[in-house]
Amino acid sequence: MLLTDKVVIVTGAGGGLGAGIARVCSREGAQVVVADIRGDAALAVAESLPGQSLGLACDVGDDDAQSRLVEQTVAHFGRIDGLVNNAGINFAKPFLDTTAAEWERIIRVDLRAVFFLSQKVCRRMLAQAQPGGSIVNISSVHSQAALPGAGPYDAAKAGVVGMGRSLAVELAPLGIRVNAISPGLLDTQIWQDIQNAAPSAEECLDYWKSNIPIGRVIGSEEIGELAAFLLSERSRSITGANIFADGGMTAQLISKEPYTSRPLEGK
């Protein structure tokens, strides 16, 4: 198993992507701390995991809550080997209507929290008898491409990648690696909401299939498998990377045509 006896914190793990990451880490042998602003959801996921686990309530946007998360993890498991910064807030609102309070809220949770929780965890990693560890930041395809109305979210997710590169370079000599994963459309509640909002779920599915070269949305545990690899010693030469797990979405130039063109032979 990739993560035998490693202690890994996964934020935003009370459901959706975070729960999928927690499940894979647990199956790979990790002792998993399931952290979520919804304490009851965190506890439920933790209790469902096959290995040793701990469910904790944590608002990652609160500095004191971050400190308690680190302290409770160490008190329970004795150390921290990995952190997955997954907690975040989605956002879609026209630029001209977005308020300063909304901007601050998204940046606080999706970017600032990643920086300062990582800082607290790294301090602990470096104070341990065997210093070092791995941090995986969950970014998004929005770190490279954009949609209208996603300004604060796009800024935060691009910031996570840029910040992670800086941390990776600074922390590499200390034995701590920092990488990012940029998922595409995931089979989580957001995907269900997208389908429910469309006039026809079938048309919605056909449209998104045309925008995803592999022709399907991505499962949360697929992202978990990649996160587990980046947390493990098998990825010990990888740091400062941003890996796109999007089924080819960002590699495709434009949406696929709803018709078949004849060949262009360059005449």
What is the 8-class DSSP label of residue 188?
A: S
- Among residues 112, 113, 125, 153, the one annotated as catalytic is 153
Active site residue 153: yes
Tokens of 257: 């045509």
Distances (CA, A) of 164 to 89, 102, 135, 178: 19, 24, 9, 6
* Terminal-residue alpha carbon distance, the chain: 55
- Decide: helix, strand or coil at residue 90: coil
Which distant-in-sequence residues (6+ apart) come within 8 Å of 114 by Cβ?
85, 137, 160, 163
Which distant-in-sequence residues (6+ apart) come within 8 Å of 64 by Cβ?
none
Half-sphere exposure of 47 (CA within 13 A, CB side): 6
Residue corresponding to tokens 């010693």: 233
Q: List 26's β-bridge partners, or say none.
A: none
Which conformational region is residue 149 in: left (phi greater than 0), alpha (psi within -120 to 50 degrees), or beta?
left
Catalytic residues, by residue number, are 153
